[in-house]
Structure 1
Amino acid sequence: MIWISFVAYTVWLAPLDRSYTWDVGYRLITFRWGEINAYLLSIFWLMGVWPLIYASLMLVDGRMQPFRVWPYFIGSNFTGVICLLPYLLLRQRNQTFNGTMDKWLAWLERRSTGVMLLFTAIALIAYALIVGDWADFVQQFQTRHFVHLISLDFCLMCLVFPITSLFDDDMARRGISNRAVFWAVALVPLFGPLFYLCWRSPLQKTVSSPTRITDTQFQ
């Protein structure tokens, strides 16, 4: 219902039909950030942090799924929950990992990666609070479809993380059974998942009999 509702709402608002959307996009990619409200700029880049948070769970989980995870991860960098939720709905519950990790998975597994994402989020939020104009952002949220949708997308990224089985399975895969950990992560939007990435047990310690997976299994 979340996915259907948000897709329908996005199509109805049609932000790509608005000249303002392309103007803001041009300023973002040409680094003309001084012309953009810091709150919008921070949310835009936090929507790049969120896919990496999900990737830290999804790409390990995706090795054990009957379909590829990469299209959903790449799509989530551009459309947020619109591409993310189909994976979370289609995946089969799995609490094991058999195989070897490539360099990309090894990078996502590092606690230093979680720490980097945590400090990036802190810096972006601090920048918004210090430099941003909240009243102007509220006005843009009410009148600009792009700002409205990207803000809702950010909130949905926070909401979805604890309510699907992906987070539960990652905890079980690492031998974490304390429900207090789950609630501590679930009840603190954005920073709960980031602290989890900094704290969680390494995956290697919970794999009992690693074997090299075949190309068929990977797909």
Structure 2
Amino acid sequence: MVRKIAFGILWLGFIIYAFLFAPPNQPDTFMLIKNLSIGQWQGINPLVIALFYLMGIWPLIYSAVVFIDGINQKIPAWPFATVSFAVGAFGLLPYLALREPNKQLVGNKNALLKLLDSRVTGVFLIIATLILVTFGLQKGDWGNFIEQWQTSRFIHIMSLDFCLLCLLFPALLGDDMERRSWKNPQLFWLIGLIPLFGPLIYLCVRPPLA
């Protein structure tokens, strides 16, 4: 119950902060999102480009765990995982608050679960992430990014959302390891404490579900 309340408070707190305390929306926010989505990157800081597409990597990382975790839950996981592609942690936090511990997989894996459980998926995601991170760090302007973080609600909340997704992954990691009979506390903390790449490495090396 404490876990459910904590995730619920975190979700409400993030929403309140986003709408009441984050920097204001900029007039060009919609155009920025549109240009990022269709690949018209001229004049956009590469750090913003990398962050925007990494926020598409995160829902795929979580989907590789959440869809499996959602089996036998009282609530379906797929609506929350699907919404997270648009709103990140805003979509996942309600699921984390409502789910029950689930340390066993009962039933067969369908085609989607086989794809999400495959190590090939993890390898693909880590390669894509390495390309994005390298591009952002080599080409990006940190001074401009900090300025945008301080003045743009979109950049500000997207950055906090990224950090929150890094912190929330261990909430699902323990049960996923249990389902695979992989009991290793040291590995759990190593994966949980390495932002972004910890979960990606986990998807590449975790034993497949029976």
Match of 2:68 in 1: 60
Question: 1:83 deviation in Å?
Answer: 0.9
Taking structure 1 as the reference length, what is the TM-score of the superposition? 0.88
Report SS of the residue matched to 1:202: coil
Task: State the match for 1:214 in structure 2.
Answer: none
Pair 1:23–1:13, CA change in 2 (3 A): farther
Q: Deviations over 1:141-165 (max 9, x none)?
A: 1111111110010000001112x2x
Q: 1: CA distance between counterparts of 2:24 and 2:154? A: 8
Task: Find out whether 1:99 has 2:107 as its counterpart.
Answer: yes
CA distance in 1, matches of 2:59, 2:179: 20
Q: 1:134 is matched with which residue?
A: 142
* TM-score (norm. length: structure 2): 0.92
Once the two structures are TM-superposed, the CA of residue 63 in structure 1 deviates from its matched residue by: 1.3
Post-superposition, which runs of at least 4 consecutive aligned residues in structure 1 deviate over 6 A?
none
Deviations 1:30-72 (A, max 9, x none): 3111321111111111111111111111101111101211110
- The separation in 1 between residues aligned to 2:24 and 2:96, in whole angstroms, is 26
Is 1:167 equivalent to 2:173 in the alignment?
A: yes
Correspondence 1:83 to 2:97: no
Among 3, 6, 10, the alignment partner of 1:2 is 10
Kept in 2, the 8 Å contact 1:13–1:145? The answer is no
Q: Any idea what the Cα deviations from partners look like across 1:179-212, whole Å, max 9, x if unmatched?
A: 11101101101000000000001101xxxxxxxx
Which residue is equivalent to 1:186? 192
Gaps of 5+ in 1: 205-219
- The CA RMSD over aligned residues, in Å, is 1.5
Question: Does residue 153 in structure 1 map to residue 175 in structure 2?
Answer: no
Task: Identify which of 132, 157, 177 aligns with 2:183.
Answer: 177
Distance, in Å, in 2 between the alignment partners of 1:24 and 1:93 is: 40
Match among 99, 124, 135 for residue 132 of structure 2: 124
Aligned residues: 202
Match of 1:198 in 2: 204
Gaps in structure 2 of 5+ consecutive residues: 1-8
Counterpart-to-counterpart distance in 1, 2:83 and 2:76: 13
From 43, 66, 79, the equivalent of 1:71 is 79
Distance 2:24 2:91 in 1: 17
The letter of the residue matching 2:86 is: F
1:28: how far off? 1.1
